[in-house]
């Protein structure tokens, strides 16, 4: 027989005569603190209403408290403690509607534990609604009455859906009485224009009272004996000066035993969030305090476990809204959960861990909407668990972030070795009530920096300037610097500091994502490494470090510039290989945009490469390079960005420096940047070397052949390049390989053009300019500072035909000049040689040349066929017999393959398995 009158909400003793005056005393104390003396009739009116309610409901009160007739002394029941109790806590979203309350009741009924103690929050949004009532009333906004009616309607309609008969009548009667009392109290607040903290706590706690009564009634409706507990009768807390409360376990335990002796039951539904002070004044455990309530009650019962029911499957390794690859953690130690809570992870109220740690009570985080998910278990870490997996990932369990911070840096030579400086700094910070999130000080003592919420930084800066005005004027302190727009990223895990390589891996991941770290802190507790970053870099940094430690797919946002022959072939190769890269190599290449000279296609999640051509037609928009780059690079969910330039455009190449400075990697077969003006090339390479942004251009020289990579490997291992000589043009290789017998030069050129081996205008190939660009690229890679104009080029375009109006006219007139090349060819054949069009880098003499050269028939260059390229490296190691690289050096397939290879090399640099 549980009473649902609102009098059961308040603290009660064992006699009605004792109960009512105690209640009058509470209200009169509050009114005296709230109202001026001449307003006391308002208070008295409220108390008359309260007294009348007590007189009419005291029989019901006794029925609920003792379950005996008035005057009968109940037999004291001993409170059982230990593993027979399981504690559950259901948050506001879990009890947000009548359907959800029914679901919660089913979970409680299905729990096979011998005894169950259930803590509930107010229905979803109700706590906010109650705070809004206070705000409206003290602002003298009469709409508080309508807002209170909305609260009434919400709970009344929920009760009608859930209950019937006496249970419904009792609840509605109590609800109406509570609403009537709240109207009187809010009226008093409205008149005073002010609400004390006690009044506010009393008002907002009603949401928990109503949800607990509703759930208890639903459980009883299913035939299970169930009592509901107003935890203000049991839980005693001492408010502290930092908007927190400390539980008084000794007093609370005595009150719990007393409460249970009057209300013995194997199923108890209790209010979360609310408690009482030692003076029996209602208070709260502050925002999100229901988790704390459950942990305290679990400790008082010495329960077997505490289950926190929420709307997520467990504790994630990172915020899944920011990191789509975040995973559910099966277990966490108490300390790890504590750290993640402090750093803003949506895990638990930060103080929830403390009570259960005393008795090694595990906490389980579970999803009320997905009962099949096992959730996350938070418990004491055991040595055997740590020994299961000794990889770095086992020591870094999760990542959390805090935004909207500012970094304050106090520095000066006068700080070094001066006792009390840090004390003075943080005393000034304390005086303005600011919360210091993180502190970092170098061992030189030259500076102290710390992070505070951005909304508090002005007051902090002003206080420090005032406190150290004399030291600043005297030069002992150089500055009090404020760095706004910062965020904190924390990596959390036990024993990180004692595990070699964790910090290096973390900072390496940040560096590779081009993230600059402003400050670092790592305590000897070994539970977290904290870094301060620019706010705009925070999500990208979170994705980068999470990807590295959790071996999630190395995700790269790609922008393809130039979907022509090579670009289109690359896109098709990416399409065909995408699934294999994801499944076998953990590489996720997402093409976020494709742009040509006129049209671009953008995607938020990645272009469907199986139909990119159709999508370009259907959803393409006017090309805008600035917008294109911003779109591809601006996606904070992907830490790495690469732009792939498949054009031969010098204007596009001029953007590389700016892209690299923004942290965008560049991959290209475009020769214009590396063979352009020397000063621009040197500037580009200097930037590449001093940053973690990568610039790959293997396909600029030998299409898919490893020419650049081989050259760089030789230099990096200490070899010295003496000479590089090669046939670098697939077109000219084809022409001279097929210039045999009675065939003429013009005939073979026409055949090459027909086969698609030449540019639309063959003069672009025959001029030797393309070979010259490749020679200058290799010369610069070898350390020579040469311009294009420094390389003499023997052109195969007859002088009279250089100015032909069109390619067609050139091809028509070319046969007239066949005799010139025929003579050179005959001279070579008479000497047992063949003609080859080559480029030469003479490193020793610091020069280069592009020319038609005769080679003996047994020379490697004379053995080519088709459109193959061949390059010979003569070095100090390979002096007697040059190192030769040979293979197809032209064609869209092999060139696109070379670009693809560079993209995969980039993925390897960024953390993918290599």
Residues labelled as active-site residues:
774
Let me know: does 460 contact 481? Beta carbons within 8 Å: no
Task: Give me the torsion for CA of 349, 353, 355, 358, rounded to 10°.
Answer: 180
- State the pairing for strand pair 237-239/868-875: unpaired
What is the DSSP code (8-state) at residue 76? Answer: P
Query: What is the sign, positive or negative, of the torsion defined by CA atoms of 885, 890, 894, 899?
Result: positive
Report helix, strand and coil shares of the chain as percent, to nearest 5: 45, 20, 35
Report helix, strand or coil for 368. Answer: coil
DSSP code of residue 91: -
The separation between the first and the last C-alpha atoms of the chain, rounded to the nearest angstrom, is 70
| Token pair 């830490």: residue | 639
The token pair at 500 is: 């070699």
Q: Any idea what the Cα angle at residue 364 is, between residues 88 and 495, rounded to 5°?
A: 145
Could you give the residue ranges of the DSSP H alpha helices within 353-449?
353-357, 383-388, 392-395, 421-431
Question: What CA–CA distance (Å, rounded) separates 831 from 14?
Answer: 124
CB 698 within 8 A of CB 709: yes
Contact 255, 236 (CB under 8 A): yes
Instruction: Return the residue matching tokens 């108490």.
Output: 334
List strand residue ranges (DSSP E) for 470-586, in order: 479-492, 517-522, 528-534, 554-561
63, 117, 379, 781, 782 from 682: Cα distances, Å: 90, 72, 57, 11, 13
Q: Is 587 helix (H, G, I), strand (E, B) or coil?
A: strand
CA dihedral sign of residues 159, 163, 165, 171 = negative
Rounded Cα–Cα distance for residues 765 and 775 (Å):
15
Question: In whole angstroms, what separates CA 102 from the centre of its chain?
Answer: 35
**Three-state secondary structure along 278-312?**
CCCCEEECCCCCHHHHHHHHHHHHCCCEEEEEECC
The counts of H helices and E strands in the chain are 35, 30
In sequence order, what are the residues at sequence separation of 6 or more whose Cβ sits closer than 8 angstroms to the Cβ of residue 718?
none
For 839, the 3-state DSSP assignment is strand
- Identify the three-state secondary structure at position 113: coil
User: Which residues 6+ apart lie within 8 Å of 354 measured at CB?
Assistant: 295
> Which positions ≥6 away from 796 have C-beta within 8 Å?
732, 766, 767, 768, 821, 837, 852
């Amino acid at each position: 027989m549980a009473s649902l009158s609102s009098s059961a909400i308040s603290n009660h003793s064992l006699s009605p005569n004792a109960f009512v005056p105690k209640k009058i005393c509470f209200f009169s104390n509050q009114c005296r603190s709230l109202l001026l003396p001449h307003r006391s009739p308002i208070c008295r009116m409220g108390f008359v209403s309260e007294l009348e309610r007590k007189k009419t409901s005291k029989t019901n009160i006794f029925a609920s408290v003792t379950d005996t007739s008035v005057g009968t002394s109940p037999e004291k029941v001993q409170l059982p403690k230990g593993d027979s109790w399981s504690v559950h806590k259901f948050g506001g979203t879990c009890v947000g509607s009548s359907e959800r309350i029914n679901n919660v009741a089913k979970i409680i009924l299905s729990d096979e534990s011998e005894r169950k103690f259930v803590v509930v929050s107010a229905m979803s949004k109700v706590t906010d609604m109650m705070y809004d009532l206070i705000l409206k009333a003290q602002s003298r906004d009469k709409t508080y009455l309508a807002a209170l009616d909305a609260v009434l309607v919400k709970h009344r309609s929920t009760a009608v859906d859930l209950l019937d008969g006496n249970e419904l009548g009792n609840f509605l009667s109590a609800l109406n009485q509570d609403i009537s009392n709240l109207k009187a109290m809010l009226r008093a607040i409205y008149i005073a224009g002010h609400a004390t903290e006690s009044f506010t706590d009393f008002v907002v706690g009603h949401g928990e009272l109503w949800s607990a009564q509703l759930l208890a009634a639903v459980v009883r409706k299913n035939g299970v004996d169930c009592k509901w507990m107003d935890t203000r009768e049991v839980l005693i807390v001492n408010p502290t000066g930092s908007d927190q409360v400390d539980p008084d376990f000794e007093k609370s335990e005595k009150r719990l035993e007393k409460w249970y002796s009057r209300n013995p039951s194997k199923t108890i539904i209790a209010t979360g969030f609310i408690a009482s002070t030692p003076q029996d004044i209602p208070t709260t455990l502050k925002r999100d305090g229901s988790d704390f309530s459950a942990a305290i009650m679990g400790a008082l019962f010495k329960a077997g476990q505490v289950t926190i029911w929420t709307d997520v499957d467990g504790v994630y390794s990172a915020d899944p809204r920011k990191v789509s690859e975040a995973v559910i953690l099966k277990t966490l130690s108490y300390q790890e959960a504590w750290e993640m809570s402090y750093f803003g992870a949506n895990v638990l109220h930060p103080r929830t861990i403390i009570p259960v740690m005393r008795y090694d009570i595990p906490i389980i985080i579970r999803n009320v909407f997905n009962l099949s998910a096992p959730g996350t278990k938070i418990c004491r870490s055991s040595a055997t668990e740590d020994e299961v997996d000794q990889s770095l990932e086992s020591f870094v369990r999760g990542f959390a972030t805090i935004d909207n911070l500012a970094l304050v840096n106090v520095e000066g030579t006068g700080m070094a070795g001066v006792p009390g400086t840090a004390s003075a700094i943080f005393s000034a910070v304390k005086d303005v009530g600011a919360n210091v999130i993180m502190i970092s000080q170098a061992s030189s003592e030259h500076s102290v920096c710390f992070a505070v919420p951005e909304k508090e930084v002005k007051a902090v800066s002003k206080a420090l300037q005032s406190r150290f005005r004399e030291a600043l004027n005297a030069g002992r302190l150089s500055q009090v610097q404020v760095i706004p727009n910062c965020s904190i990223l924390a990596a959390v895990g036990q024993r990180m500091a004692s595990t070699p390589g964790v910090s290096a891996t973390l900072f390496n991941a940040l560096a590779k994502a081009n993230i600059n770290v402003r400050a670092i802190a790592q305590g000897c507790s070994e539970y977290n490494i904290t870094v301060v970053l620019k706010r705009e870099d925070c999500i990208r940094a979170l994705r980068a470090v999470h990807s590295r430690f959790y071996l999630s797919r190395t995700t790269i946002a790609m922008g393809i510039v130039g979907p022509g022959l090579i670009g289109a072939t690359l896109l098709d190769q990416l399409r065909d290989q995408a699934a294999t890269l994801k499944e076998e190599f953990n590489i996720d290449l997402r093409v976020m945009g494709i742009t040509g000279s006129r049209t671009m296609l953008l995607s938020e999640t990645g272009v469907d490469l199986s139909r990119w051509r159709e999508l370009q037609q259907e959803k393409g928009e006017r090309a805008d390079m600035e917008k294109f780059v911003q779109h591809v690079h601006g996606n904070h969910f992907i830490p790495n960005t690469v732009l792939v330039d498949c054009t031969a455009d010098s204007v596009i190449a001029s953007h590389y420096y700016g892209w690299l400075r923004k942290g965008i990697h560049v991959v290209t077969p475009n020769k214009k940047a590396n063979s352009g003006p020397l000063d621009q090339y040197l500037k580009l390479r200097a930037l590449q070397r001093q940053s973690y942004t990568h610039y790959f251009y293997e396909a600029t020289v030998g299409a898919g052949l490893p020419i650049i990579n081989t050259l760089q490997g030789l230099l990096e291992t200490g070899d010295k390049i003496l000479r590089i000589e090669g046939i670098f043009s697939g077109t000219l290789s084809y022409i001279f390989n097929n210039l045999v017998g009675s065939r003429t030069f013009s005939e073979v050129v026409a055949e090459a053009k027909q086969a698609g081996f030449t540019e639309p205008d063959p003069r672009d190939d025959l001029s030797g300019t393309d070979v010259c660009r490749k020679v200058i690229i290799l010369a610069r890679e070898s350390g020579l500072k040469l311009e294009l104009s420094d390389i003499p080029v023997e052109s195969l375009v007859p002088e009279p035909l250089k100015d032909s109006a069109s390619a067609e006219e050139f091809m028509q007139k070319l046969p007239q000049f066949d005799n010139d090349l025929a003579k050179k060819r005959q001279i070579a054949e008479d000497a047992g040689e063949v003609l080859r069009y080559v480029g030469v880098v003479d490193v020793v003499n610091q020069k280069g040349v592009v020319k038609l050269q005769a080679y003996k028939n047994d020379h490697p260059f004379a053995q080519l066929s088709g459109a193959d390229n061949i390059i010979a490296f003569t070095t100090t190691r390979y002096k007697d017999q040059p190192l030769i690289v040979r293979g197809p050096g032209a064609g869209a397939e092999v060139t696109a393959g070379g670009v693809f290879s560079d993209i995969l090399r980039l993925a390897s640099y960024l953390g993918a398995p290599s």
